């Protein structure tokens, strides 16, 4: 019935302007006002009616066990739910009418409108609140606990690195593997798409018409095609149908070290034979860097106390008056930083090598890779903070010796370093050729059961490749547009000045245009990186197990959808915040100098 | 053109002159570089003056691409692939491209790096172009798309279950064409700019709808008239005769009366047949007991009468025969095979199962009653102890052309006529009108667009199902309609996108203003909603819509999956819109708000009439690109069992006739989405230009 009234009111409202000339203006104003407010009241009634009814239904006794309110709502009252709804809609319409008349101080206006808004939202909020309470008791999806995450998962995953999972692992392990999968894909895609995107964006503005039309068609093609279609096309057509099948894998190889098939690319296996040489190689690199920083450092000259915060004062108290202490402090912080990197890498390699399963910290003195890794991360963060503090105090300003002898010295230093590193890596890492097992006990197996020998391979599955390439190409097209926009927003005078200075086009690009353009496009790039992170959820299209796919499988198995959904949101939010924090740090670093 | 060719060119004509420059002062005298080479080759070609240069350039380009297509087509055909002709045509095509580069040689070949980049990007473009032309026009069989074009547009449920309800989509299509024509008419520009693309669009759509691509379906999708598993029945009328002289008169003709004969099912035999190659045994169903002991053996005649009701759907038939010694086959009095006497190709001693197959022409079949007659002879020779065997299968090839396109073509042509008419009317009216009238007409058109969208929803699914909810039962007038769960195809994507955009716009504006407010009751929920929804990807929210929203909303509103998806899509779009609008609202000068307050406008009036228009004007490019992104994101709903265009394209290769043809369907649907997005981004660029938002120039040349 109310719908008919609402329809009549709408019709009247639409037809009213045609009768305006027959009515006096006050009458017209009153009629249109009344119709407006009663229309609003009736629409509100239509919307809120069933919400109020169901709220009252939920509040009847014995519906929700854990709720105890002071009064009882009889089940018969639910049929009379239209009464409070009518009163509510009338009150709200009246309230808005009274507010419109004016003559109210701003403070009273604010309070009144907030009160009216609370009243207006009341049925909906109460409905959702009571409904959720009811669902928590009666619906298995809404049970909020995480016990099921510690049970056995019961399915298998693909593409696990560095942690393998077996059938008996808990669901937390699976979540961890999925998370690492997603992080892997997203980091590689971000790096790849930035490189490709900047290249394409710059070529888009080239003077060469062939190159610029190529870049333009690339951007237009990949930007306007949905990502789902691109991923699926890559997976089924490009990598599925065009690569040779696994049956003929022995024919598709690069000198026996790299094999490719439609299951993916298989490369040589690498194991760390001798950890000491590896760490020695890293020590060589870090030592060379510290030495260069030592020789090229310019220390702050004056000894004015110009630091304002507590850490700065502590540092200055340590330094005292001796000028050499400054360089000693800077070098000490550098060495501390290098040692922390070493510990992190040592822990990381051990985790990867030993395929370690998660456990709590058992003691730092024991040779426990996870705890070493955690110690390393803590030390790394501390030393990084110290270094930033020293940056602020002016201890890390460097000069670059551009003279011929300086360049020669640096060349010698770096070539010796790289040579030493190669030699040490050669002794440290052992590459094994992929070994295909085609027989068992002398009997040849059908090609469906062929497998690689353990430890001889490192493979990239075709699923991972398709997801990586798809994400990269799509995000690169968006980044190319951003780059083009930011280069085009530079003042034309920069280009003209560069030409008049006689810079070559490459120098112009490298020294004038890109530094300014890259600076201004970091916020937009942040947005694209966040999009890339969220687009990685499309891994289920190609069958890649990232954590979203793992969670949907868990929901299909267990059925507790709400905690799983909240975990999905939390993970994506954590990733977004991390990416935003890193990009904001880069932004603040880069915009410290005002241009 | 191979990569080696380009490398050779590069070395000969780009690297060598550079090297020569170090030894000779004027290297061009001794060895040409690319520019002088082109000048020399095309020195006799007359110069083009600048007026026709635009058209001449495009003409030569189109001609070169046609030559490329021709060469690829000839290379693929069997007749010409061995001759020199395709290579010759390709050389001509390359000469054309060289001429084009000669016209542009000042830009392309002046410095070393420029020449290198030009050569390699030309190679890339050429390979890409020839690959694309080869794939699209020469190599690929696009029958999958022709056969399934209706499924792609409206979804499989419409075709299979609601085939005669497609009339519901024609009125919205008419309205869409009228609005399109009228919209372009209000722009008031030159008529040709609209008519040429519109004409091309109409012709392409009409051809796509009306193209008759009949094809031979694979035999497994035909109907079996007679055989082991058939719908027509497997029984034959049969009789065993001792000699050919005993055959009754007219035994092979349709009019013969075989009522007195016995009935039996194939296979006929008197021993189970062992096929040595496969080691399988096939049981006989009807025993062929012949009593003759001399001569070559007795004869078995089989007769099968069947009726074909609609011959237009039949493309032909195949007849399979497992024969004994001598045999013959007749269909509708026509002799298909006659091996009753010993002939050169007819004498086989071992019965092989299923090794004779005859292709029957369409003309041989009649509409109405048909008769198939088979004769087989017993085999008594040399120790074969009556290994007599006869089995047969007649299979009709049925055309898959499911629908008659004449009516649809008429409707579509009518819609295009209406669009053209509305364009002319509105264009004539708007040509000499004031701008405020044009704006008024445009606002009317927008209202009409929203109304036509509602009309489409109303027509597709008329209300009236729940008697107490709706005060108006339209189902008596318009029929039950098609439930949203059965909608599909490209239409579904467009419906989702439009509904999500319209509803999402309202939500986004409310959230944007709520976020900017100072009152906690407004900004706290707004910030909460925006940050929560922006934290997850769209897929996660669609998962929420599928699984959790029903629990929340079912007591109040029994929403089916389509409505839930629209709700979530609009919430998602609204949050992103709120973020974009927040930036735009901050850019509105504060003086506007103060002036509005001084004039006595209420807060809502200032928001809607002063701040919002200025904010939208500044942020319009970002908003339009988000809308285009929403159109593309509607393809994600496929995961939830909704048959949108992408899902249909994914599942088309599962049809038996088109197994494994993923590329065609995926590329086609991808190109439809691409085309829509590209067109909309062109529209958005035009809007930006009209609003004066684009800025030309800046450090453009790198």
Considering only CA atoms, give the Rg of chain A: 34
In this prediction, residue B700 carries a pLDDT of 45
Q: Do B633 and A508 make contact, defined as CB atoms within 8 angstroms?
A: no
Cα B139 from chain centroid?
Answer: 17
Residue burial A17-46, b: 16+ Cβ < 10 Å; e: rest: eeeeeeeeeeebeeebeebebbbbbbbbbe
Of A3, A139, A228, the CB nearest to B635: A228
Contact B208, B447 (CB under 8 A): no
Q: Is B338 helix (H, G, I), strand (E, B) or coil?
A: strand
In this prediction, residue A111 carries a pLDDT of 92
Return d(Cα B565, Cα B562) in angstroms, integer.
5
Return the H-helix or E-strand segment holding A131: helix A106-138
Interface test with B, best of A136, A229, A577 (most B CBs within 10 A): A229
Return d(Cα A130, Cα B555) in angstroms, integer.
12
Q: Which residues of B touch A513 (CB under 8 A)?
A: 699, 702
DSSP B442-488: HHHHHHHHHHHHHHHHHHHS-S-SSTTT-S---HHHH-S---GGG--
Q: CA nearest A234 in B: which residue?
A: B663
Return d(Cα A16, Cα A19) in angstroms, integer.
5
Q: CA of B326: how far to CAs of A378, B271, B300, B387, B692, in Å?
A: 93, 18, 11, 13, 88
Chain B closest CA to A161's CA: distance in Å? 24
Domain at B219-398, CATH class: mainly beta
In this prediction, residue B702 carries a pLDDT of 46
Q: Do B663 and A237 make contact, defined as CB atoms within 8 angstroms?
A: yes
Q: Is B113 helix (H, G, I), strand (E, B) or coil?
A: helix
DSSP A172-218: HHHHHHHHHHHHHHHHHHHHHHHHHHHHHHHHHT-S-HHHHHHHHHH
In this prediction, residue B595 carries a pLDDT of 95
Of B547, B628, B639, the CB nearest to A561: B547
Domain with CATH 2.60.120.260 in chain B: 219-398
Contact B588, B615 (CB under 8 A): yes
CA angle B206, B212, B218 (to 5 degrees): 140
Q: Do A565 and B699 make contact, defined as CB atoms within 8 angstroms?
A: no
Closest CA to B338 of B353, B352, B358, B355: B358
Chain A closest CA to B101's CA: distance in Å? 10
In this prediction, residue A459 carries a pLDDT of 78
Q: Do B636 and A229 make contact, defined as CB atoms within 8 angstroms?
A: no
In the beta sheet, which residues pair with residue A429?
A272
Interface test with B, best of A43, A137, A221, A225 (most B CBs within 10 A): A225
In the beta sheet, which residues pair with residue B587?
none
Q: Do A233 and B666 make contact, defined as CB atoms within 8 angstroms?
A: yes
A210 and chain B in contact, CB less than 8 A: yes
CA angle B520, B525, B531 (to 5 degrees): 125
- Relative to beta strand A397-398, strand A297-298 is antiparallel
Q: Is B556 helix (H, G, I), strand (E, B) or coil?
A: coil
What size, in residues, is chain A? 595
- Surface-to-core class of residue B432, CB atoms within 10 Å of its CB (0-12 exposed, 13-18 middle, 19+ buried): exposed
Q: Which residues of B touch A568 (CB under 8 A)?
A: 536, 540, 543
Of A207, A221, A487, the CB nearest to B107: A207
For chain A, the structural domain boundaries read 2-138, 171-257+454-590, 275-424
Cα-Cα-Cα-Cα dihedral of B666, B671, B676, B682, to 10°? 150
Q: Which of residues 516-545 of A touch B (CB under 8 A)?
A: 534-535, 537-538, 540
Q: Which residues of A touch B117 (CB under 8 A)?
A: 206, 208, 210-211
Q: Which residues of B touch A234 (CB under 8 A)?
A: none
In this prediction, residue A161 carries a pLDDT of 62
Angle separating helix axes B520-535 and A106-138, nearest 10 degrees: 40
Return d(Cα A228, Cα A471) in angstroms, integer.
10
Instruction: Give mean pLDDT in consecutive 10-residue pieces for chain B, a chain of 702 residues.
Output: 84 83 74 82 81 84 91 83 84 89 84 87 90 84 80 80 77 92 87 88 86 55 62 72 77 76 78 69 74 68 80 75 76 78 58 70 80 77 63 73 73 92 92 88 89 85 62 68 81 91 93 93 94 92 90 83 91 94 91 92 88 90 88 87 87 78 85 90 84 57 47
Q: CA nearest A135 in B: which residue?
A: B551
Cβ-Cβ pairs closer than 8 A, A with B, add up to 181
Contact B556, A51 (CB under 8 A): yes
Return d(Cα B42, Cα B105) in angstroms, integer.
12
Chain B closest CA to A234's CA: distance in Å? 10
Return d(Cα B569, Cα B499) in angstroms, integer.
9
In this prediction, residue B38 carries a pLDDT of 85
Q: CA of B72: how far to CAs of A338, B100, B402, B473, in Å?
A: 61, 21, 33, 61
Of B117, B532, B543, the CB nearest to A208: B117
- Relative to beta strand B223-226, strand B389-398 is antiparallel
pLDDT one digit per residue (tens) for chain A, 595 residues? 777 788 888 888 888 877 777 888 888 888 888 888 888 898 898 888 888 888 888 888 777 777 666 677 777 777 788 888 889 999 999 898 888 877 888 899 889 999 999 999 999 998 998 888 888 888 877 888 777 777 777 777 766 665 666 666 778 878 888 888 899 899 999 999 999 999 999 999 888 888 999 999 999 999 888 998 899 888 887 777 777 777 777 777 777 778 888 777 888 877 777 777 878 888 889 888 888 888 877 776 665 555 667 777 777 777 766 667 777 888 888 888 888 888 888 777 776 665 443 333 343 434 556 777 788 888 888 888 888 877 777 777 777 777 888 888 888 889 999 999 998 888 878 788 877 777 777 777 777 777 777 767 777 888 888 899 999 999 999 999 889 888 888 888 988 999 999 998 888 888 888 888 888 888 889 999 999 999 999 988 888 888 898 888 888 888 888 888 999 999 999 999 999 999 998 888 777 766 5
CATH number, span A171-257+454-590: 1.10.3720.10
Q: CA of A587: how far to CAs of A15, A381, A434, B622, in Å?
A: 57, 20, 45, 22
Question: What's the pTM value of the predicted model, to 2 decimals?
Answer: 0.77
Q: CA of B187: how far to CAs of B202, B415, B424, B537, in Å?
A: 20, 21, 12, 39
Interface test with B, best of A200, A220, A232 (most B CBs within 10 A): A232
Contacts of A328 (CB under 8 A, 6+ apart): none
Domain with CATH 1.10.3720.10 in chain B: 483-659
In this prediction, residue B568 carries a pLDDT of 94
Structure tokens at B69: 């297509």
Q: Which of residues 108-147 of A touch B (CB under 8 A)?
A: 110, 113-114, 117-118, 127-128, 131-132, 135, 139, 141-142
B483-659: CATH topology: MetI-like fold (1.10.3720)
Residue burial A427-458, b: 16+ Cβ < 10 Å; e: rest: ebeeeeebebeeeeeeeeeeeeebebeeebbe
Q: CA nearest B556 in A: which residue?
A: A50
Return d(Cα A436, Cα A456) in angstroms, integer.
9
A378 and chain B in contact, CB less than 8 A: no
What size, in residues, is chain B? 702
DSSP B565-576: HHHHHHHHHHHH
């Amino acid at each position: 019935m109310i719908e008919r009234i609402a329809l009549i009111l709408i019709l009247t409202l639409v037809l009213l302007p045609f009768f305006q000339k027959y009515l006096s203006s006050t009458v017209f104003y009153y009629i249109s006002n009344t119709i407006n407010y009663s229309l609003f009241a009736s629409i509100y009634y239509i919307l809120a009616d069933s919400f109020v009814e169901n709220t009252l239904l939920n509040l009847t006794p014995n519906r929700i066990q854990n709720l105890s309110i002071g009064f009882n709502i009889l089940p018969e009252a639910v049929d009379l739910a239209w009464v409070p709804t009518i009163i509510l809609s009338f009150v709200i319409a009246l309230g808005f009418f009274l507010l419109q008349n004016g003559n109210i101080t701003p403070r009273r206006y604010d309070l009144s409108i907030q009160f009216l808004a609370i009243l207006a939202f009341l049925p909906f909020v109460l409905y959702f609140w009571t409904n959720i309470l009811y669902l928590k008791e009666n619906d298995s999806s809404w049970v909020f606990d995480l016990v099921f995450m510690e049970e056995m998962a019961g399915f298998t995953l693909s593409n696990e690195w560095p942690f393998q999972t077996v059938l008996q692992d808990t669901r937390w392990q699976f979540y961890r593997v999925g998370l690492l999968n997603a992080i892997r894909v997203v980091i590689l895609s971000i790096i790849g798409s930035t490189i490709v995107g900047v290249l394409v964006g710059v070529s888009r503005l080239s003077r060469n018409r062939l190159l610029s039309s190529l870049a333009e068609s690339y951007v237009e093609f990949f930007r306007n095609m949905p990502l789902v279609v691109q991923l699926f096309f890559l997976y089924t057509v490009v990598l599925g149908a065009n690569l040779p099948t696994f049956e003929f894998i022995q024919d598709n190889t690069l000198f026996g070290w790299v094999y490719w098939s439609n299951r993916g690319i298989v490369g040589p296996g690498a194991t760390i034979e001798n950890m000491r040489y590896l760490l020695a190689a890293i020590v060589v690199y870090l030592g060379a860097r510290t030495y260069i920083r030592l020789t090229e450092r310019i220390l702050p000259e004056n000894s004015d106390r110009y630091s304002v915060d507590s850490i700065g004062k502590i540092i200055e108290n340590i330094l005292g008056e001796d000028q050499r202490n400054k360089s000693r402090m800077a070098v000490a912080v550098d060495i501390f930083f290098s040692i922390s990197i070493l510990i992190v890498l040592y822990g990381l390699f051990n985790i990867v090598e030993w395929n370690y399963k998660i456990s709590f910290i058992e003691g730092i003195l024991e040779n426990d890779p996870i705890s070493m890794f955690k110690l390393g991360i803590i030390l790394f963060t501390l030393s990084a903070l110290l270094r930033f503090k020293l940056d602020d105090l002016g201890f890390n300003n460097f000069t670059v010796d551009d003279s011929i002898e300086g360049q020669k010295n640096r060349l010698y230093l770096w070539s010796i370093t790289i040579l030493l590193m190669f030699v040490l890596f050669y002794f440290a890492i052992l590459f094994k050729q992929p070994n295909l097992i085609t027989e068992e006990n002398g009997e040849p197996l059908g090609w469906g059961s062929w497998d690689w020998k353990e430890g001889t391979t490192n493979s990239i599955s075709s699923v991972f490749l398709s997801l990586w390439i798809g994400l990269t190409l799509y995000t690169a097209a968006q980044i190319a547009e951003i780059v083009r926009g930011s280069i085009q927003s530079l003042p034309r005078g920069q280009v003209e000045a560069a030409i008049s200075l006689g810079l070559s086009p490459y120098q112009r690009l490298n020294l004038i245009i890109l530094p300014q353009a890259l600076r201004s496009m970091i916020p937009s790039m942040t947005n694209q990186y966040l999009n890339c992170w969220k687009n990685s959820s499309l891994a289920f299209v190609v069958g890649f197990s990232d954590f979203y796919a793992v969670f949907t499988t868990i929901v299909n198995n267990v059925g507790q959808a709400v905690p799983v959904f909240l975990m999905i949101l939390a993970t994506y939010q954590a990733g977004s915040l991390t990416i935003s924090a890193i990009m904001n740090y880069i932004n603040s670093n880069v915009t410290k100098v005002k241009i | 053109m191979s990569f080696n060719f380009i490398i050779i060119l590069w070395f000969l004509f780009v690297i060598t002159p550079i090297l020569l420059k170090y030894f000779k002062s004027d290297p061009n005298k001794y060895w040409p570089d690319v520019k002088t080479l082109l000048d020399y080759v095309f020195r006799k070609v007359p110069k083009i003056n600048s007026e026709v240069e635009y058209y001449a350039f495009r003409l030569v380009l189109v001609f070169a691409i046609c030559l490329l297509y021709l060469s690829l087509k000839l290379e693929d055909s069997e007749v010409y692939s061995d001759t020199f002709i395709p290579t010759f045509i390709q050389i001509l095509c390359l000469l054309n491209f060289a001429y084009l580069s000669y016209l542009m040689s000042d830009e392309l070949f002046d410095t070393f790096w420029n020449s290198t980049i030009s050569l390699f990007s030309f190679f890339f473009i050429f390979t890409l172009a020839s690959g694309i032309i080869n794939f699209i026009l020469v190599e690929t069989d696009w029958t999958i798309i022709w056969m399934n074009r209706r499924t792609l547009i409206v979804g499989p449920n419409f075709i299979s279950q609601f085939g005669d309800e497609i009339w519901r989509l024609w009125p919205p299509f008419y309205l869409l064409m009228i609005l399109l024509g009228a919209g372009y008419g209000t722009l008031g520009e030159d008529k040709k700019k609209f008519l040429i693309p519109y004409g091309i669009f109409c012709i392409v759509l009409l051809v796509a709808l009306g193209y008759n691509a009949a094809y031979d379906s694979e035999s497994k999708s035909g109907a079996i008239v007679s055989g082991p598993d058939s719908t027509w029945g497997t029984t034959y009328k049969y009789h065993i005769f001792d000699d050919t002289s005993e055959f009754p008169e007219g035994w092979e003709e349709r009019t013969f009366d075989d009522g007195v004969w016995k009935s039996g099912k194939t296979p006929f035999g008197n021993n189970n047949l062992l096929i040595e190659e496969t080691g399988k045994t096939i049981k006989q169903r009807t025993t062929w007991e012949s009593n003759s002991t001399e001569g070559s053996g007795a004869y078995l005649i089989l007769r099968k009468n069947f009726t074909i009701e609609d011959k237009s759907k039949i493309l032909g038939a195949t007849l399979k025969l497992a024969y004994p010694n001598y045999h013959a086959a007749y269909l509708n009095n026509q002799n298909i095979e006659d091996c009753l006497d010993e002939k050169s190709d007819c004498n086989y001693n071992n019965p092989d199962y299923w090794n004779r197959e005859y292709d029957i022409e369409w003309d041989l079949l009649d509409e109405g009653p048909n008769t198939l007659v088979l004769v087989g002879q017993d085999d008594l020779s040399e120790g074969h102890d009556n290994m007599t065997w006869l089995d047969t299968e007649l299979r009709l090839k049925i055309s898959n052309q499911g629908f008659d396109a004449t009516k649809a073509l008429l409707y579509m042509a009518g819609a295009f006529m209406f669009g053209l008419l509305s364009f002319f009317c509105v264009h004539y009216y708007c040509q000499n009108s004031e701008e405020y009238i044009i704006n008024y007409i445009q606002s009317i058109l927008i209202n009409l667009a929203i109304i036509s969208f509602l009309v489409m929803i109303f027509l597709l699914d008329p209300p009236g199902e729940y008697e107490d909810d709706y005060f108006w039962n339209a189902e008596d007038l318009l029929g039950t309609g098609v439930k949203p769960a059965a909608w599909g195809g490209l239409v579904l994507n467009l419906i989702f996108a439009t509904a999500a955009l319209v509803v999402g716009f309202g939500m986004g504006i409310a959230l944007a203003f709520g976020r900017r407010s100072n009152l906690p009751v407004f900004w706290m929920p707004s910030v909460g909603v925006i940050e929560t929804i922006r934290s997850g990807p769209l897929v996660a929210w669609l998962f929420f819509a599928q699984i959790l929203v029903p629990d929340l909303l079912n007591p109040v509103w029994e929403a089916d999956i389509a409505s839930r998806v629209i709700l979530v899509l609009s919430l998602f779009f609204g949050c992103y819109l709120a973020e974009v609008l927040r930036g735009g609202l901050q850019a509105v000068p504060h003086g506007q708000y103060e002036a509005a307050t001084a004039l006595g406008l209420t807060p809502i009036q200032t928001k809607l009439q002063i701040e919002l228009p200025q904010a939208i004007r500044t942020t319009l490019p970002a908003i339009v690109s988000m809308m285009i992104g929403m159109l593309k994101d509607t393809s994600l709903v496929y995961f939830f069992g909704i048959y949108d265009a992408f899902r249909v394209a994914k599942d088309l290769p599962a049809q038996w006739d088109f197994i494994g043809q993923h590329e065609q369907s995926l590329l086609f649907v991808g190109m439809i989405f691409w085309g829509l997005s590209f067109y909309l981004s062109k529209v958005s660029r035009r809007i930006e230009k009209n609003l004066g938002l684009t800025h030309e120039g800046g450090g453009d040349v790198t």
